[in-house]
Structure 1
């Protein structure tokens, strides 16, 4: 079964890569943390933390992966945030490849590596690393249940791009 015709594989790879950078890879709701509830929405390049029952100015915090790692330094979940940083770096490379592919399609297509397969591999690697980060969050004492929303999409996008017929 062919999911994508080969002439549309390149544009699809670019669109799926861009979409992957916009989807949250993880959503965690932590109830009863220090007397309140907290919602974490983790995107590849930043996280939004919303604390319920607190004035809005104090309720919302945004941080990038490196700041989050520094904040968690010495805690058991630091390694989960480090994995997130690696996943974000892989997605950053995929985003650069996708932008180059979009801007200079002929030049990138004539290179030694099929850009559709490369992007599929990078999305798969990012999905795997972020799946590990989700597992580490769940098993290292982070309150709440992390839901790997974007991880499932990353892995599905990777399978789709890696199985496209490029003939």
Structure 2
């Protein structure tokens, strides 16, 4: 079954890749040390909102490398390492999509279809971010953030569904000629 016609596949590939960079792959809602914390993890940054948590009030923003370095030695370090891999894959997808957008004819002359390349990259991003989400779920309970206690809450892999769906759509797109 074909879901995307060939004349729209390129546009869908580029737009879905760019949209994927804007949606969070994971949202964590939890409580720690008498307060609440919300972590919104986008592919290329993490936004932390802390309410009523000593030493962690307000908002902070980290890139994946800084977030990984902060968690080094913690039980969630492997989840943050997976996030780094997912971020690198999405950066590669963004680079391919920008090239495809700017030089469509040259990209379509590649030995591989750029729509399939972007579909595969997004699907792999979905799998990697799903693994990171699973590692967070298993590791976040009881992790010490240095704010006086462990975290307890829920981790929601929001973007994972989108990445996998976009990847599947692009891989199933009808190909020209």
Alignment: residue pair count = 165
Q: Which residue of 2 aligns with 1:92?
A: 91
Q: Which residue of 2 aligns with 1:28?
A: 28
8 Å CA contact retained: 2:82, 2:132: yes
Q: Alpha carbon RMSD of aligned pairs, Å?
A: 1.5
Deviations 1:77-106 (A, max 9, x none): 011001001000000000000000000000
Q: Which residue of 2 aligns with 1:152?
A: 161
Q: Distance in 1 between matches of 2:51 and 2:36?
A: 5
TM superposition shift of 1:145 = 1.5
Q: Which residue of 2 aligns with 1:18?
A: 18
Deviations 1:106-150 (A, max 9, x none): 000001110000000000011100000000000113432210000
TM superposition shift of 1:54 = 6.3
- Structure 1, unaligned runs of 5 or more: none
Q: Which runs of 4+ in 1 moved over 4 A?
A: none
Report the structure, 1 or 2, having the larger helix content. Answer: 1
Q: Which residue of 2 aligns with 1:166?
A: 175
Q: Which residue of 2 aligns with 1:135?
A: 134
Q: Distance in 1 between matches of 2:45 and 2:7?
A: 34
State TM-score, norm by structure 2.
0.89
